[in-house]
Structures are given as structure tokens and as C-alpha cells.
């Protein structure tokens, strides 16, 4: 179960990283790409965060349910935030109302959940 969890998170983080690099390249070559840069940044920052959270969760360094929640919060939040910015860039409108702020709020909450997971861990210290 633990190895499968880490593999799933790592696979999703790999896709986030690839999308982040692709968006950075598009931002560098597109005329008006003000939204693609932040979309790339969110994906590239949170891909390794999700992998690190998965590893510390798998090794029992944080409370498991909260660690898992933080991992998938990083993935969902960064994807939602970035997806909305990309959709706005290419389609001209939002993915849905408040999609980017919802994704950003989910990312903030995920960082807080990860911090709590570390503090409540039995093996912390």
C-alpha cells in the first residue's frame, strides 16, 4: 500500500513537472503569456513538495491520513490553480468561477495540513 501510494503521487508529480516545464517554454515563446509563468511556477514548486510529502508519509515521519491529504491537496490545488490560468490564457475565460483562488487556497491549506501532520506524528523528533 505504501509503495503504491508513493508511486501514484510520484507519477502525478512527474506529470506536474513536465507540464510546468512545458508551460515555462510556452511562456518564454508566447507574446502575451502573463498567466503561463505563474501556472508553470505553481506546478514546478508543488511537484517536488507532493513527492517529499509522500515520502515522509510513507516513512512514518508525519501522521499518515494528514500526510496523504496534503499530498493530494498539493496535486489538486496546483492543477486547479494552473489549469485555470492556462484555460484563461487559451480560452479567454475561467475554468469556473474562483477556480484559481480555490486552487491557491487548497495549496495553502495543504501546507498547513502537512505542518500539523508533522507535529502530530508519533515518530516526530
pLDDT the model gives residue 3 = 86
Residue-wise pLDDT for 86-110, tens only, equals 999 999 999 999 999 999 999 999 9
Residue-wise pLDDT for 80-89, tens only, equals 999 999 999 9
**71 within domain boundaries:** yes
Share of the chain above pLDDT 90, in %: 88
CA distances to 9, 15, 58, 121 from 68, in Å? 9, 18, 9, 13
The residues, ordered by sequence, that sit 6+ positions from 91 with a Cβ below 8 Å of its Cβ are: none
**64 within domain boundaries:** yes
The CA distance from 95 to 23, in Å, is: 17
In this structure, are residues 36 and 26 in contact, taking their beta carbons and an 8 Å threshold?
Answer: yes
**111 within domain boundaries:** yes
**Mean pLDDT over all residues of the chain?**
93
Interval 12-41 mean pLDDT: 94
pLDDT the model gives residue 79 = 97
Burial label, 93 (beta-carbon count in 10 A; 0-12, 13-18, 19+): exposed
pLDDT the model gives residue 33 = 85
pLDDT range class, residue 1, cuts 50, 70, 90: low
**28 within domain boundaries:** yes
Q: Which domain holds residue 6?
A: 2-119
Residue-wise pLDDT for 45-70, tens only, equals 999 999 999 999 999 999 999 999 99
Interval 2-12 mean pLDDT: 92
**101 within domain boundaries:** yes
Cα 58–chain centre separation: 18
Q: What is the pTM of this model?
A: 0.92
**40 within domain boundaries:** yes
In the chain, what is the greatest distance between 2 CA atoms, to the nearest angstrom? Answer: 52
**Number of domains making up the chain:** 1
Amino acid at each position: 500500500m505504501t509503495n503504491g501510494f508513493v508511486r501514484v503521487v510520484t507519477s502525478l508529480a512527474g506529470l506536474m513537472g513536465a507540464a510546468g516545464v512545458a508551460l515555462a517554454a510556452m511562456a518564454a515563446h508566447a507574446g502575451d503569456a502573463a498567466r503561463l509563468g505563474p501556472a508553470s511556477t505553481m506546478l514546478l514548486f508543488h511537484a517536488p513538495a507532493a513527492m517529499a510529502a509522500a515520502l515522509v508519509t510513507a516513512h512514518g515521519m508525519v501522521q499518515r491520513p494528514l500526510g496523504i491529504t496534503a499530498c493530494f491537496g498539493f496535486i489538486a490545488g496546483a492543477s486547479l490553480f494552473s489549469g485555470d490560468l492556462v484555460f484563461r490564457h487559451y480560452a479567454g475565460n475561467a475554468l469556473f468561477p474562483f477556480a484559481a483562488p480555490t486552487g491557491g487556497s487548497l495549496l495553502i491549506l495543504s501546507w498547513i495540513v502537512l505542518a500539523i501532520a508533522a507535529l502530530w506524528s508519533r515518530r516526530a523528533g
